[in-house]
Amino acid sequence: MSSYAGLSASGGGISYTTSKHAINGLTKEIAWEYGRQGVRANAIAPCLVRTEMAKVDFETGLNVKLAAETVFNRYAEPAEIADLTLFLASDSSKYMTGQIISIDGGYALGKNVTL
């Protein structure tokens, strides 16, 4: 599990952002090194998910401002991230590897973020 913070320098803190960039590199390296042996490696990069980590956003009202930066004007529900996780664990994604999959409700659109 990566994060939007692994796709840019997003002010998430040096340790957190660095760890997510490392996950993205590790994901791609695993895919490259072990793909011929049938190993698939993909990472999910969520942004703005209604979780315990985002609780302070809702307590302070920051969630309204941040949600407005998404196409859907809301935070993702944890079940929506789980759905993507299940897809990646299934045979439906058997030809996918080395991908960092952003699930951000369009948050990165118009921002300088490259996948």
Range 38-46 average pLDDT = 97
Q: In the prediction, which pLDDT does 39 show?
A: 97
Nearest to 74 by CA among 84, 87, 64: 64
The rounded radius of gyration (Å) of the Cα atoms in the chain is: 15
Q: In the prediction, which pLDDT does 113 show?
A: 57
C-alpha–C-alpha distance, residues 108 and 96, integer Å = 22
Banded model confidence at residue 50, pLDDT cuts 50, 70, 90: very high
| Catalytic machinery residues | 16
Q: Which domains does the chain have, with CATH numbers?
A: 4-103 (3.40.50.720)
**C-alpha dist (Å) from residue 1 to 20, 74, 80, 85, 115:** 8, 21, 14, 9, 15
